[in-house]
Structure 1
Amino acid sequence: MDAAELKGKFAEVFGYEEGIRIFFAPGRVNFIGEHTDYNGGYVLPAALTFGTWSVVNQREDGVYRFCSTNIETKIECNVSELIYKKEDDWANYPKGVLSELIQLAGPENSKQYQGADILYHGNIPNGAGLSSSASIELVTGLALSKLAGFDIPMIELVKLAQRAENHFVGVNCGIMDQFAVGMGKEGQAMALKCDTLEFRYIPVEIKGYKLVITNTNKKRELADSKYNVRRNECEQGLEMIKTVFPHIQSLGDVSYEEWEKVRHVLTDQVISRRVEHVIMENERVITAMRVLEGNDLHEFGALMIRSHESLRDLYEVTGVELDSLFEEASKVDGCIGTCMTGAGFGGCTVSLVKEEAVDTFKEIVAEKYTEKTGLVPTFYICEIGDGAKEKLKEEKSCRF
């Protein structure tokens, strides 16, 4: 949909078109650094050019109406009745963000949140691990704060969106997804230290190659998955490490040399494997920053492959579907790097593929993957785009 079509759809749903504004927040892909974010480590994500649009207008009766072109569920709630309801499904994300916005405004200014009609339209595959939830959160935070007359810095909206997901929705996620969605920059990845939020932009120059995201099309419920279990295992591992190195504040601060000295303390082999993944993945991200800046795509691709193997063998968050995509993609001439992206348990892989090999890649991977799993994958050839912003028209996102 372009801007005119979005406005038309808004009028169809809510019965008017005057005074509306349009906002956009992208999805994101993480090239390397999975499950390091909530462990205070490094990540290397980038915003994509597809995402979530919100078409909004102010109300003055305290009622918020949330509607989507993608899902039939239409939710209405009063500003004084912002509670989590399982039956509200996706609308719990914007409700959570609104709740955090009101808390941030404080008693004197919270009256600015007087209600709104909001229509969402997204082209992020639902449940694919490309951060559709963070995209909804950031587009909501930006739109509703602007509508209420507040100019909140993007980094504060990023933190607010994470709080909404942690406290309201109940997913104990790190900050990477929201940060990438809010702070993205066209053509560049973000090298982010998740506990300090120190970051720098790194140009991603892949001339002659394409960024191919492949969706397993396996349904994945992040909040109901083993995500929170993995986080708990890492927290247990950190406490064991602190018996030897009390100064360590997060697994992201543990160097490989320190790990070699302390690994004997982790007598639980499951927890030891989880911790080893995080520490080694953190080292891979630091190396990846350097090789990307040196434009060594082949070494970068090799790091992606090692990342997936660690997520499969040590962290155990891949599964048959993601592993099948990884195995088949790795065999295709012209694919120099591939790995799962996102939390795992389904979702997507990201691959670097020579431009002339993309069609062959899609054909071979799809055929072999379907033979193994019975599922049909979806491919997205994508570009790196900007973070959340107000906009007047829809831009092309990706080619299917």
Structure 2
Amino acid sequence: MQVLETITSAFRGTFGETPTLIQSPGRVNLIGEHTDYNEGFVLPAAIDKAIYLAVGPRNDQKLHFVSADLNSTYQGSLTDIRRSGKGWANYLLGVIDQIQKEMSLPGGLNVVFGGTIPIGSGLSSSAALENGVAVALNHLYKLGMERVPMALLSQRAENQFVGVQCGIMDQFASMMGQEGQVIKLDCRSLEYAYAPLAMDGFRIVLCDSRVKHSLASTEYNTRREECEAGVAIVRASVGDQVRSLRDVTMDMLNRYVRDQEPLLYKRCAYVVLENQRLLNGVADLEAGNIEAFGQRMYESHEGLSKWYEVSCPELDILEDIARAHPGVLGARMMGGGFGGCTINLVREDALADFEAVVQREYLERTGQETLLHECRIEAGTHVV
């Protein structure tokens, strides 16, 4: 693979040694959007778009990182970890900072990394990079860390050092992925189980809207507040056993929220129904009924667009094009919303026609070109 040859060659040229190679995947989320911060369920999977790291230990305290894709270098020390003006370096430094809060590292680290995750596609390159550094240090220095704690450590690095208040899904999916399996993750307890996604005859295709509307961050925070406000109304009526939307039923929403706060009702109802859609979707996958699962993806998009209102015209157009194509089993927007990608389950024999139709119709209807990415479900972060 070209990227492995590139980073290996760069590592040898920079450090005069042969590196250890780490593959750390991006992720998709099949269903269960905006459920994570409501203590609900998500259904992600690791994919074959990844960050690759060439790594080696040092016998001093120095840190030397090279981003091959950005042609940028960072040098620092274990004894003086502080935020860098080079934003990309903070993802690596944050992980090292978290590890050093738990144990002292015996030496520094050399890293050259590059990737095949499309930038700005919402496939979580940051989580992949964080996990790659955690696995590298664990392997090189035999730290004995388990995989779930490493995913949590990567999340803390992003929350506390980088300053992005992400949930656990991205790091967990990238670390814990298995080939051909999706992960049913309970965001409250971190209990997880694998469900088969039998992709024989099907492909996952991401259609990139190529837009990111400025609403994304402010509306994300607003949605969190709206959900919490809905929970507070229900809690005032039924008591403290209701901690989050995870504990709320449609009956409770119909009784206590619908007439009093119609907007909050829409927001909360979407989340409660999405959790149930996900659990039903897992049952579909376990029964091998991928067609039924695809229909739940369409229902999820409808909820995100009309009830939760985090879609945008471009994403709705991509979903509309997919829904009209006979080779597509299911499609929906993926991620925070207001831009980014749709995720589509497409029959392999219809793939070329679907891609041609999407590119032609999206350009006609928006004046924008779309980028298409085919994905396979792969194993989580590992030493190559």
* TM-score when normalising by structure 1: 0.89
Per-residue Cα deviation, 1:243-274 (whole angstroms, up to 9, x for no partner): 1232022212323333333324862x443332
Higher mean C-alpha deviation, range 251-260 or range 351-360: 251-260
> Partner residue of 1:8?
9
Deviation, 1:221, is 8.8
Which residue of 229, 239, 259 maps to 2:253? 259
Per-residue Cα deviation, 1:225-254 (whole angstroms, up to 9, x for no partner): 643443333333333332123202221232
Which residue of 188, 210, 217 maps to 2:210? 217
Higher mean C-alpha deviation, range 374-383 or range 332-341: 374-383
Give structure 1 stretches of 5+ with no counterpart.
392-400
The change in CA–CA distance for 1:100 and 1:264 in structure 2 (over 3 A counts) is same
1:243 aligned onto 2:236: yes
> Partner residue of 2:113?
120
Contact preservation (8 Å) 1:170, 1:223: no
> Partner residue of 2:90?
92
> Partner residue of 1:129?
122
The change in CA–CA distance for 1:48 and 1:222 in structure 2 (over 3 A counts) is farther
In 2: Cα distance, 1:111 partner to 1:144 partner:
9
1:42 partner amino acid: F
Give structure 2 stretches of 5+ with no counterpart.
none
The change in CA–CA distance for 1:40 and 1:29 in structure 2 (over 3 A counts) is same
Segments of 4+ moved more than 6 angstroms = 220-223
Contact preservation (8 Å) 1:127, 1:220: no
In 1: Cα distance, 2:288 partner to 2:215 partner:
34
> Partner residue of 1:368?
361
> Partner residue of 1:397?
none
Deviation, 1:16, is 1.7
Equivalent residue pairs, number: 382
Per-residue Cα deviation, 1:337-366 (whole angstroms, up to 9, x for no partner): 001122223221111112121111111111
1:372 partner amino acid: R
1:99 partner amino acid: D
The residue matched to 2:299 in structure 1 has which SS?
A: helix
1:193 aligned onto 2:179: no
Contact preservation (8 Å) 2:3, 2:115: no
Contact preservation (8 Å) 1:319, 1:345: yes
The change in CA–CA distance for 1:119 and 1:36 in structure 2 (over 3 A counts) is same
Deviation, 1:15, is 4.0
In 2: Cα distance, 1:220 partner to 1:24 partner:
32
Aligned-pair Cα RMSD in Å: 2.2
Contact preservation (8 Å) 1:213, 1:380: yes
Which residue of 144, 147, 159 maps to 2:140? 147
The residue matched to 1:133 in structure 2 has which SS?
A: helix
1:27 aligned onto 2:26: yes
* TM-score when normalising by structure 2: 0.92
1:262 partner amino acid: Y
1:285 aligned onto 2:278: yes
The residue matched to 1:53 in structure 2 has which SS?
A: strand
